[in-house]
């Protein structure tokens, strides 16, 4: 097992898009670890004096606005041996802050209530890595739980260049607050090498991310990327130390629910070796449907099932 380091820079960041033709910033072997630095936000999101701003973020701003609206991602990382039809296992080993501030931003025609807030609202939120808290402007200390809002592989080549905003089969802007250090994400590979990128660092977020942003900040992640040849997925899945997670993403929340539920029925049936009917029943008795986010045009729902209900061996 080898650990690699990928910093954020003009050469290693792509702003606003996923693209299967993007050349890899790094190539690693399956099972290797990689440490990835990320940055977040446009020039309008910078704080005043007294906060640390990564130089690479300023360099990206100076290079000009992105070709399409979206997130600043670091990558892609190619994983040797990954082919379409495989699954990329992303073990999230560690997530840490790279700066002492984050921002929250919303305005007219955005968020879950696009007509309710006619003025731009931008807040700089101080972050204390040592204490693990964010201090909101009225004095509330909010516990940090950092994670990457965007983790994705390259989309299918036939899609061309797509925005980072909408989560889809390749993952992308999932915004699932469960995916902190110690969890694992599984993504269906769409392109040779998988081409993993991440960004959209969040210091803390509620289910829904209702105003359109979380505590947006710069993060460093340590990942182990492994190619699975014997596992087939039609859509992203994840697991925490205690739960399995299935996901649905669509403009219609009802459709999101159906997608996450169908995948969980299959997972439960296979893991517990019970019928689909019994799995459907168990999903109703013990599964939890949660709204991942409601603000990325393609909304998200995830379903959680406790592992100890299925893994009896």
Mean pLDDT per 10-residue segment, the chain (313 residues):
89 98 98 98 95 97 93 98 98 98 96 96 98 98 98 98 97 98 98 98 98 98 98 96 98 98 97 97 98 96 97 63
Right CATH number for 242-309 from 3.10.28.20, 3.40.50.11030, 3.40.630.30, 3.40.30.10? Answer: 3.10.28.20
Domain ranges of the chain: 3-228, 242-309
**What secondary structure letter does DSSP report for 286?**
H
The whole-angstrom separation of Cα 198 and Cα 129 is: 21
For CA atoms 294, 295, 298, 304, the dihedral sign is negative
**What secondary structure letter does DSSP report for 293?**
E
The predicted structure's pLDDT at residue 170: 98
Question: What is the dihedral angle through the alpha carbons of 154, 159, 161, 165, rounded to the nearest 10 degrees?
Answer: -70
The whole-angstrom separation of Cα 167 and Cα 184 is: 17
Token output for 40:
């977040």
The whole-angstrom separation of Cα 190 and Cα 49 is: 43
Residue 139: partners with Cβ closer than 8 Å, 6 or more residues away: none
Closest alpha carbon to 178 in 129, 240, 222, 224:
240
The predicted structure's pLDDT at residue 313: 46
Right CATH number for 3-228 from 3.30.365.10, 2.60.120.580, 2.40.50.40, 2.60.40.10? Answer: 2.60.120.580
Does the predicted model carry a pTM greater than 0.85? yes
The predicted structure's pLDDT at residue 1: 64
The whole-angstrom separation of Cα 297 and Cα 313 is: 41
Q: If DSSP codes are grouped into helix, strand and coil, which group holds residue 283? A: helix
């Amino acid at each position: 097992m080898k650990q690699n380091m990928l910093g954020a820079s003009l050469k290693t960041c792509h702003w606003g898009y996923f693209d299967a033709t993007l050349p890899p910033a790094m190539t690693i072997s399956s099972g290797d670890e990689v440490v990835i630095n990320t940055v977040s936000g446009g020039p309008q999101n910078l704080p005043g004096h007294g906060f640390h701003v990564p130089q690479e973020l300023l360099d990206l701003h100076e290079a000009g606005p992105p070709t399409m609206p979206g997130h600043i991602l670091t990558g892609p990382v190619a994983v040797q041996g990954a082919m379409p039809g495989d699954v990329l296992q992303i073990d999230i080993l560690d997530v840490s802050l790279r700066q002492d501030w984050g921002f929250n931003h919303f305005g007219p025609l955005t968020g879950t209530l696009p007509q309710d807030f006619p003025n731009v609202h931008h807040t700089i939120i101080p972050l204390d890595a040592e204490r693990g808290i964010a201090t909101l402007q009225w004095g509330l200390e909010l516990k940090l739980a950092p994670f990457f809002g965007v983790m994705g592989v390259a989309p299918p080549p036939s899609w061309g260049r797509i925005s980072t905003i909408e989560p889809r089969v390749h993952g992308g802007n999932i915004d699932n607050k469960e995916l902190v250090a110690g969890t694992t994400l599984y993504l269906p590979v769409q392109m040779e090498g998988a081409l993993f990128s991440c960004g959209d660092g969040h210091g803390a977020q509620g289910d829904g991310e209702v105003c359109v942003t979380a505590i947006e900040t710069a993060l460093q992640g340590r990942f182990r990327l492994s190619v699975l040849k014997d596992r087939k997925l039609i859509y992203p899945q994840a697991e925490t130390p205690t739960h399995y997670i299935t996901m649905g993403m669509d403009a219609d929340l009802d459709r999101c629910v159906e997608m996450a539920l169908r995948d969980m029925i299959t997972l439960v049936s296979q893991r517990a070796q019970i019928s689909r009917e019994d799995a459907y029943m168990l999903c109703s008795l013990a599964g939890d449907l949660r709204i991942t986010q409601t603000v990325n045009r393609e909304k998200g729902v995830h379903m959680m099932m406790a592992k100890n209900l299925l893994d009896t061996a």
